Structure 1
Amino acid sequence: MTKVVNYISEAFEELKSNVAWPEWAEVQKLTIIVALFSILFALATWGVDSVFAKALGFFFNWLLKA
């Protein structure tokens, strides 16, 4: 158990002293960029899924009528 506590303590010390944290304004800007790209990617995925679903629906309806 001592090893685990020591590891966690050293990890926090590493984060405090050796990690270069970005400025708050940069964090906000990058967060907005990531959120926008996530929304755009989700909409693109939804659009492609809808197109393929309709195309497959038309194809299977055509097969059943033939």
Structure 2
Amino acid sequence: GNISQLVKPGDGGLSAASSIAVRDHVLYVGSRLTKQILKFDAKKGTFLGVFANLPSNPEFFIPVSQQ
């Protein structure tokens, strides 16, 4: 298959991507230099907003169930 870039560096403030997760057509990307988790449309790459501002760098995501 082909590999293409969905989210470009700088999109939505993304700086030094660290981790990714996908849930319900939303791509979550950790941004080390801004200490944020950013949300993008998983199909189009459109920036959807900041999911979280963190006290330190986002390094790993652990999927959890929302019950």
Higher relative contact order (CA 8 A, sep 6+): 2
Same fold, TM-score > 0.5, yes or no: no
Query: Normalising by the residue count of structure 2, what TM-score does the alignment of the two structures yield?
Result: 0.20
Going by fraction, where is helix more abundant, 1 or 2? 1
Bigger proportion of residues as strand: 2
State the TM-score, normalizing by the size of structure 1: 0.20
